[in-house]
Amino acid sequence: MWTEEIKAESSLFAINFREIWHYRDLLFMLVKRDFITFYKQTILGPLWFIVQPLLTTLIFVILFGNIAKLSTDGIPQLAFYLAGITIWNYFAESLTKTSSVFTANASIFGKVYFPRLIMPLSIVASSLLKFAVQFALFILVVLYYTFVAQSIQPNLWILFTPVLILLMALFALGVGMIFSSLTTKYKDLTFLLAFGIQLFMYITPVVYPSSALPEKFQILAKINPLSSIFECFRYAYLGTGTFTITDLLISTLVIVFLFFTGVLVFNKVEKSFMDTV
């Protein structure tokens, strides 16, 4: 039985799904490792998945809701801010961790072969587990305000949730792989990205609705691919939001472009990154 196969060099745009599927056990192992080791020596363990968004939501309610008096389009503040925090945490964590794939795993990459895309995929998958816990908490809040307080009205757009999550994952993967590839040579970009993510949160409708933006800043909501995703998510679960199908389609096209650009850069750099990392 052949143990090696010699074939022509693959395209930089190529994603070998068959090979990735062949290494699925490694993917599951990496996800399990990230989940277990990160919280292994903490007191609360996975409860931090719940504590962290709750504390952040309470801080946002105090700062942006009660002090800054930012609009929530008539939605209860707890539900409004928790909606934004839940999906923002997933995007931000996936992007941050993906952006350091090469530098953080250089010792592994230099010793054994496996499809390098397994690493960023494992990051998105492990972040998805954390998102699932926080999303369950958000659903409980939605159920309370829907059936007890009767102050929100979810609709059938909730069926679109998997698509919204996929779009955020592709966006985080694309931009993360671009930065990961560049930081093998320009490590200063790590600090730039950390600052950029914090800034990006404030030009994304996380703590305010797009409708609250002054007219001259509405362009920021239009060119930000996440804006229509966040507004669609809020509209689906809270019954209010400013988005159109056209905006969502444009965001999808931009995200798909960034994803394939990230794959191109990632595939190119993975062949020689050990010389620069």
What pLDDT digit, counting tens, does each position of 124-182 carry? Answer: 988 898 899 899 999 999 999 999 999 999 999 999 999 999 999 999 999 998 988 88
Provide the pLDDT for residue 57.
93
Handedness of CA 20, 23, 29, 33 (dihedral sign): negative
Residues 84-127: tens digit of each pLDDT? 999 999 999 999 988 888 777 767 776 777 777 888 888 898 88
CB 103 within 8 A of CB 187: yes
Backbone φ and ψ for 239, nearest 5 degrees, come out as 85, 5
Q: How many CB atoms lie within 10 A of CB 142?
A: 19
Percent of the chain at pLDDT > 90 equals 43
28-78 tens-digit pLDDT? 888 877 766 666 666 556 677 788 889 999 999 999 989 988 889 889 999
Domain residue limits, the chain: 32-275
Please write the tens of the pLDDT for every residue from 15-39. 667 777 787 888 888 887 776 666 6
Better-scored residue on pLDDT, 3 or 119 = 119
Q: Which amino acid is at 153?
A: Q
More confidently predicted of 273 and 268:
268
- How many angstroms separate the CA atoms of 151 and 201, rounded? 27
